[in-house]
Amino acid sequence: MRFLVDENIFPKITSYLRSLGHDVKSLQEEGIFKIPDDKIIRMAKDEDRTIITFDKHFGNVMKYPPSNAAGIIHIRIHPPLLPDIISAMDNLFKKYEFPSFSGKLIVLSKSGYRVRV
């Protein structure tokens, strides 16, 4: 899968995703900071990448309808401890039933995930 990792995501999560064989573009590694969410959505869609973010704004389906995105994974794990996030992502990747995240908002929590279309 192809991911666009928001600037607020820990570098170890980026490394974890790459270790699984995913194609990952990191805004942090690219030196892209503080760009508007609209531009992130557009960049991800143009490059066919699912956004991974802690940013709650991407969970607003009225502003960012899942059908207009290449996919969004909104991490809602508090406190955002790396082992909990990795565990939740492992669970998502093992149990997710769709061929891609495109057009979907995945809200990832410590106890599981929910999908909004």
Range 25-47 average pLDDT: 94
Higher pLDDT, 3 or 68: 3
Range 28-44 average pLDDT: 93
Torsion angle of the four alpha carbons 91, 15, 103, 45, in this order, in degrees rounded to the nearest 10:
180
Q: pTM, whole model, 2 decimals?
A: 0.95
Distances in Å between the Cα of 36 and the Cα atoms of 25, 93, 106 are 17, 28, 21
User: Is the pLDDT confidence value at 28 over 90?
Assistant: yes
Range 62-77 average pLDDT: 94
User: Is the pLDDT confidence value at 98 over 90?
Assistant: no
pLDDT given at position 45: 95
